[in-house]
Amino acid sequence: MIKNMKKTITISAPGKLMLFGEHAVVYGKPCIVTSVNQRISIKAQKNDEPIFVLNAPDVEINNYSKPLSDLGNGEIPKGAKFVEFAVLNFLEKYRSVIPARFADSARRANAGIQLETVAQFKSTFGFGSSSASAVCTIKALAELFEIKLTEKEIFDLAYKTVLDVQGLGSGFDLAAAIYGGTLYFVTGGKTIQPLAISHLPLIVGYTGVKADTATIVKEVKARFEKYPKLLKNIYDGIAMIVKEAKIALEKNDLEKVGQLMNLNQGYLETLGVSSEKLSAMIYAARIAGAYGAKLSGAGGGDCMIALAPSSKRKAIEKAIEKVGGKVLEVEVNTEGVKLT
């Protein structure tokens, strides 16, 4: 059992929705991502034994533990990977600083960590729960050990965590979790620019199908290697859409934003990442009066989004549900990671 529990730190971070730029962002192109009010929370405590303990009931992780010296090694449950590697990366970077944060000098070198996560949304929605949990972990440990980190320092550690776990990724979901709001983002955090968005009337529809993001990204990468010139042109086209969308969003030109969503969806269809269910929901929303609609994220499942005139909102929601989608109550452009 864990002894001598001390103060508890609680951190929360938002999930995300991709507005524009899926897949192209992996290849250095820009994207636009927004945070959502569905959040992940993590409670962190120090303990006096050199053990890492994780409880994450939402992903069926109960009393998972291992010595700190074994972090990153052996068989790691899928639901624990992002948190465990986030802890490992934090400790490796700040190991020389951490001992001085403990009051009991006899145990300074052997301090352990206990974490518990709570999610307001299901990991199946594709809102970026894994990335949000990594961000929460790093922020919680920084608060716990009184180490001041900038938003970019949190991003860099969390991005290393993503690469350690899945070998590839752009980091846009991390940026949304850290900075909040709506962001213009370039792969690896080369650009993280908040956009002044006052109103974004999105409807979010869930397919009921959980997408395997890493697998889909790898499949698209394989297509790129087979047809590099063709896919490069597609990614260049998506990048142009993203830049136009940035301007339209800042001007609150919702009709143009919707038209650009439709164009972006066309490219995603060409990449082969949509699905019959996603397409049915997207076209139902458009027919019911949406300015535009597209998938959000890797594709293959998860969610679609529709930009809705207020007068058409109910009709669009009914249309999505009629073809088997589930409308989720989601607010966008929300606050980033914070101490709660």
Q: How many residues appear in the chain? A: 340
272 φ/ψ sector (left φ>0, alpha ψ -120 to 50, else beta): left
Strand boundaries in 80-166, DSSP class E: 112-119
DSSP secondary-structure letter at 301?
Answer: S
Q: For residues 289-300, b (16+ Cβ closer than 10 Å) or e, as one string?
A: ebbbbbbbbbbb
Give the SS3 label for residue 16. Answer: strand
Helix (H, G, I), strand (E, B) or coil at 273: coil
The one-character DSSP state at 335 is B
Q: Residues near 228 by Cβ (< 8 Å), separated by ≥ 6?
A: none
Contact call for residues 332 and 229 (beta carbons, < 8 A): no
Rounded-to-integer distance, Cα 276 and Cα 265, Å: 13
70 is catalytic: no
Please give the structure tokens belonging to residue 37.
């009010």
Using only C-alpha atoms, what is the Rg of the chain? 21
From the candidates 173, 212, 253, 302, give the one annotated as an active-site residue: 173
Q: How far is residue 99's CA from residue 108's CA, in Å, rounded to a whole number?
A: 5
Closest CA to 323 of 296, 297, 286: 286
Active site residue ranges: 173
